[in-house]
A = this chain, B = another copy of it.
Amino acid sequence: MDADLEVRLAALEGRVRELEDMLAIQQIIARYGPAVDSLSQAQVAALWARDGVYDFGAEPLRGAEAVGKLVELSTHRAYVERGCLHSLGNPVITIQGDHAVATGNSRVYIHEGDGWKVERAAANRWELVRDGEGWKVASRTNRLLDGTEDARLVLRSVDRPLK
């Protein structure tokens, strides 16, 4: 194979891989809502890395299994029984090799009266890692956009490298 051709092919392969990574990460975040709103514990757990964390302001959930079990929390069950939608905004994604950060919003809508109430509006930072099975959530930090500084700090870290 001539050298110029090899360079063009390898460049394309790298660009296609980056596009695949972007869409794979979008898809992981898109999967979160349907999984929690249908009480699908295994599907939630499958999104997280084995030792991944979900910190939503209270004591963080540690490990994929613990994160999956959030669908059993009494607050979550009560939401789902009333009627509940978790919607995730399209995130900003930055990829560095086998690590990535995705920053975006989430909203929780709860059925109330003849409509739905916006129960939560939050800022999210997702840190992801690529392993043998593809991308997984290493850590998700979720902070309410209630006027306190915490959520704004999450949003300002959009381009902050992983560490």
* A residues at B contact (CB < 8 Å): 1-2, 4-5, 8-9, 12-13, 15-16, 19-20, 22-23, 26-27, 29-31, 33-35, 37-40, 43, 80-85, 87-93, 103-105, 107, 109, 111, 115-123, 144-148, 151-153, 155-156, 158
Contacts and interface: CB of A to CB of B under 8 A. Distances in A.
Contacts of A91: 30
Count of this chain's copies in the oligomeric assembly: 3
A5 B121 CA distance: 50
Contacts of A158: 31, 34-35, 43
Given A16-B15, A115-B117, A152-B38, A83 B30 contact: no
Contacts of A2: 1
Given A5-B5, A19-B16, A37 B155 contact: yes
Contact of A144 (B37, B83, B120): B83
18 contacts: A19-B19, A29-B90, A30-B91, A33-B89, A33-B104, A34-B104, A34-B105, A38-B155, A43-B158, A82-B147, A83-B121, A83-B145, A83-B147, A84-B145, A85-B105, A107-B109, A111-B145, A115-B119
